[in-house]
Structures are given as C-alpha cells and as structure tokens.
Chain A
Amino acid sequence: AQSVAQPEDQVNVAEGNPLTVKCTYSVSGNPYLFWYVQYPNRGLQFLLKYITGDNLVKGSYGFEAEFNKSQTSFHLKKPSALVSDSALYFCAVSQNSGGYQKVTFGTGTKLQVIP
C-alpha cells in the first residue's frame, strides 16, 4: 500500500522569507511524486512532479521540490514567499498499478504568507 504524510496542517511564513512545506511518502517501488495547489473555492492545480532523474524539480510560480530517497521525502520549497502563495497545498504519490496510476493524496497543508 502507498501513503503520503503532510505533518503540518498549517505553515505560517512572512512575506519574502523562504518557505518549506513538508511531505513524506511510503511506496513499495519507485515513487512518482506530485505537488498540487488549491486556491479558495477552486479545484487543484498541478505545480510539479518527480518521475526520475535530478532530485531537484522546478515547477510553476517559482516553486521547487527536492526528492530525497533515503528520507522518503519530497518537500516543497520557494526561496521568497508571496502573499499570493497563500493556499492549500497537497502532496501526492503514485505508482503504476496495471495500466492505471493509482494516486494517493496527503491531507493538505495550509500555507499562510503574512504581509
């Protein structure tokens, strides 16, 4: 069985400071990892994904994530937070299950960027 954990329900960061949203995962094989963002009253939007290769993945809106196999983590980062980054962030993990990639989502982390 696969699972993903987001240990923080909420992260507060001052505007202009670096931000990190944490994610750890558990899968039996090679993981495929995703980050999505959800703005209020909207659906989820894809930010970035890790499939293979370089452990540092760059995505939309200046976000990046670092894949760490030994720590089974995939933390989302941004060097300088904006107030507009305030949203709900979901980490997700998948692996092939026949022809279908079963995806498991975390419980979400609310990011609050304080002006």
Chain B
Amino acid sequence: DVKVTQSSRYLVKRTGEKVFLECVQDMDHENMFWYRQDPGLGLRLIYFSYDVKMKEKGDIPEGYSVSREKKERFSLILESASTNQTSMYLCASNPSSGRVNEQFFGPGTRLTVL
C-alpha cells in the first residue's frame, strides 16, 4: 500500500513564525502536491512538484513556498505565518505514468496560527 505521511497532525504557531510542514511518500511517486482544505471551499492546490527540485505554483501559492530535495519528500513552508493560513493542509502524491492516476493523500496537518 502507498503510504503518505505528514510530520504533524496538529500544529499551533504564532503570527510571524516560519512554519515547515513535511510530507514523505514511500512509493517512488514522481508527483507530489500540497493542498489546503477549508469548509465550503473544498481542496485548493497550493504547489505541486513533478520531479526533484522542480515545482509549479498551484491556484493559491501566495504566502507559501516549497522544497523538494529528495524524491520522497516535499516540504511546504510558510515564510511568515498569518492567521488566514489557519487551515487543514493535505499532502498527496501519484505516479506520472501515462495512465490517469488517482492521488494518494496523507492524513493532514491541522494548523492553527494565533
């Protein structure tokens, strides 16, 4: 089974802090994604990566950056956390073969910024 793990289930940070959310997948997937989930808005894509050191902006990248130094690890960075970044953050991965592939999700990190 594919396993996607996220470093924290719950996180509380203060406004202005630098926050790191880590995601690791164990199935050698090329593609990795970061979403935020908010009630009534569904999932919105923040960034994705299709290879090591490669990244692309999603729909809402402002206030976030990412890092992918190794194939299995994709980090989301909040440079200076703000209260409007309080949300559930979901990491996902899938292979980039020619097939149409579903995404495999981690359990999520619920971030609260005070």
User: Which residues in A have some Cβ–Cβ distance to B below 8 Å?
Assistant: 9, 32, 34, 36, 41-46, 49, 51, 90, 94, 99-101, 103, 105-108
Contact = CB atoms under 8 A, between A and B. Distances in A.
Contacts, number: 52
B41 A43 contact: no
B58 to A, nearest CB: 9
Contact of B96 (A32, A49, A99, A105): A99
Contact of A100 (B4, B35, B56): B56
Interface of B: 4, 9, 31, 35, 40-45, 48, 50, 56, 90, 92, 96, 100-108
Contact of B108 (A32, A43, A100, A107): A43
Nearest to B101: A101
A46 B104 contact: yes
Query: Which among A43, A101, A107 has the highest number of chain B CB atoms within 10 Å?
Result: A43
A105 B38 CA distance: 12
A112 B3 CA distance: 28
Contact of B50 (A43, A45, A100): A100
A43 B56 contact: no
A105 B43 contact: yes
B104 A107 contact: no
Closest 10 CB pairs of A and B: A43-B105, A107-B42, A105-B43, A46-B102, A44-B105, A32-B100, A105-B42, A43-B107, A51-B100, A43-B106
Contact of B105 (A45, A94, A107, A108): A45
Given A42-B107, A43-B106, A45-B105, A100 B48 contact: yes
